[in-house]
Every structure is written in C-alpha cells, then in structure tokens.
Amino acid sequence: MALSEATDAGRAGPTKKPTRLFKNMASKIAAVPMVFTALVIFVGGTVWTIVYSFTSSGLLPRLKWVGLDQYERLWNSRKWLVSIENLAIYGICSLILTLVIGFTLAALLDRKVRGEGALRTIFLYPFALSFIVTGLIWQWILNPDLGLQSVVRGMGWESFTFDPLNNASLVMFGLLIAGLWQGTGLIMCIMLAGLRGIDEDIWKAARVDGIGTVKTYIRVIIPMMRPVFVTSLVLIGSGIVKLYDLVVAQTSGGPGLSSQVPAMYVMTSMFGGQNLGQGFAASTMMLVSVVIILVPWAILEFGGKKRG
C-alpha cells in the first residue's frame, strides 16, 4: 500500500508534498499500537469470543462445535433469566431517572442560581469515585441495623422500614440509589453544556409570547436538545449493560440470586464455574444488546449527514 501511494505521489506533480513515502511511513509506524489494538484486541477478541460461543468449551477453550447449544442452555438457565430481568428493571429506572434528574438539575443550575460552581462540584464529585467505593458507601448507609433505617427509627418513627439490600424484591432499587448517585452528575454536566449552547433569543422569544418557564423547557428547549439527549441515552445505555462492579461491591449478587446481572453471569461462568462456553454465549448476548442500542443511534447520527 505504501509503495503504490509513493509512486502515485511521485507522478502527482508539484501540488503534492515531495516526501510522501517517508511521511506515510512514520505515521504508519507510529500507528502500529493503534492498529494492533483495533484489529487484534477489539476485532480479533470479539470475533474469537463469538466463534467460541458456538463450541462446547468448558475448562479450556476448544473448537468442538455444538451449534446453538450454549445459547439454549443460557436461555433455560434461571440465573440468566433473573439477571436479564434485574438488569431490565435497573436499566429502565436508571435511564428514566438519570435523564429526569440530570435535566432537572441542569435546568435549575441554568436559572442563574447563586453558588452554581459549588453545587456543580457537589453533584459531580461522585462521578470521580469508582463503583466499588460507591457500592461500599451505600452498603453502609443502607445498613439496616446502623444506617439510615435505624436513624429514622431512632427519631421516633419505630415502624420505618427501609432495608432494600436484604429484600429480594427491592435490592435492584438499592443498587439504583447508588448508581444514580454516581452517574447523574455526568449527565447533568452534559445537559448543562447543552443548555448553555441554546441561544438566549429563544428565551426572549418565549417570554414575548408569554410562554411559561416550564412550558418553554418542555415544548421548546428539550426538542432543541435532541442530540444532547441522544448522546446521554447512548452513554447511559452502554453503561447499564456493563453494570458489574457496583453489584459486586454492594450486594455480591445477593440476597440469593436477586441482584444477579448478566456481566456477573459472564464472570462467574468464565472464571469461577469453568464453564467458558456459557461465559462466551452470555457475553455475546451482552454485545448484542449494545448493538441494539448503538445501531439506531449510529443511523440517526451518521446516516443523514456525512462527517469527517
């Protein structure tokens, strides 16, 4: 490839730069780590996992084809179905609440409030912390004997019960509280940047027409911020699929199976259960869900207009 380009450049006359061969060589050599990462790790790794998800790999990967057996087993496994259901509950709530809270906070901060800088710092700092730290903090706050529940009971409300981490039907919401705490600041920041990008004249026009503030946000501003919302959706969506560390730290998947998530299923079957095929099939399903989120976005984003 380099050679043919070089000869092309040789013939191309004075408009082309004279040392095209060297220029390309240096650039290509410099790009070797990138090409390796893109082709071997990202493409190669993904293809490898997909291919091996159709084999009977157990303790070690081996190429013995079993067709869709692993997927059949996967979708018949109660643990996997519970994981999917948990992630769906967490995902839907997280998506809606992150967008609502993120936008509300951004809109409030955009009302030229005092102490905006300090508030923004407070809203965003959890995003600097890891999911492990997040999970452990909230595990402590939600501790039924010494945490929030006992404090409220101590204030005189004896029957107050708030113990999501030990209640199978509420545990995903316990995780949600922590997940929202960690992640909404980021979305708020993105939304705030979007709001700041909106022309002041829009507000003036709305005011002249006598449209109320809340109505202006809903009818005018939010439709104008569609790209920002789409970016946020993609970010939140791809983050939800990866949900793992938080669960490990906060609940370890318990009580029972009640806070199992797909990523955890993958990890236990790959590294704990010596059931590689299941791990590969489950991680391929995770990939499929990301594709389902990304493809419509990519079509929306890159389909109409071409960008450099």
Partner 1 sequence: MANSDTMAAPAALAAGPRGPKPKRRMTRGNIIVYGTLFIFALYYALPLYVMVVTSLKGMPEIRMGNIFAPPMEVTFEPWVKAWSQACTGINCDGLSRGFWNSVRILIPSLFLSVAVASVNGYALSMWKFKGSEVFFGILMIGAFIPYQVMLYPIVILLREAGLYGSLTGLVLVHVAFGMPINTLLFRNYFASIPEELFKAARVDGAGFWAIFFKIMLPMSLPIFVVSLIIQVTGIWNDFLFGASFTGPDLYPMTVQLNNIVNSVQGVKEYNVNMAATLLTGLVPLTIYFVSGKLFVRGIAAGAVKG
Residue 280 interacting with partner 1 (CB under 8 A):
yes
Residues 47-76 that bind partner 1 (CB under 8 A): 48-49, 52, 61
Which part of the chain contacts partner 1 (CB under 8 A), choosing from 66-74, 76-84, 89-97, 136-144? 136-144
Which part of the chain contacts partner 1 (CB under 8 A), choosing from 46-54, 67-75, 89-97, 162-170? 46-54
Residue 238 interacting with partner 1 (CB under 8 A):
yes
Among 24, 77, 166, 268, indicate the residue that binds partner 1 (CB under 8 A).
24
Residues 100-129 that bind partner 1 (CB under 8 A): 101, 104-105, 108-109, 111, 113, 119-129
Kindly tell me which of 73 and 242 has the beta carbon lying closer to partner 1.
Answer: 242
Kindly tell me which of 133 and 222 has the beta carbon lying closer to partner 1.
Answer: 133
Kindly tell me which of 105 and 175 has the beta carbon lying closer to partner 1.
Answer: 105
Residue 130 interacting with partner 1 (CB under 8 A):
yes
Residue 1 interacting with partner 1 (CB under 8 A):
yes
Per-residue contact flags (x/-) with partner 1 for residues 163 to 202, judged by CB under 8 A: ------------------x---xx--xx--x---------
HEC profile of the chain: CHHHHHHHHHHCCCCCCCCHHHHHHHHHHHCHHHHHHHHHHHHHHHHHHHHHCCECCCCCCCCCECCCHHHHHHHHCHHHHHHHHHHHHHHHHHHHHHHHHHHHHHHHHCCCCCCHHHHHHHHHHHHHCCHHHHHHHHHHHCCCCCCHHHHHHHCCCCCCCCCHHHCCCCHHHHHHHHHHHHHHHHHHHHHHHHHHCCCHHHHHHHHHCCCCHHHHHHHHHHHHCHHHHHHHHHHHHHHHHCCCHHHHHHCCCCCCCCCCCHHHHHHHHHHHCCCHHHHHHHHHHHHHHHHHHHHHHHHHHHCCCCCC
Among 10, 22, 67, 157, indicate the residue that binds partner 1 (CB under 8 A).
22
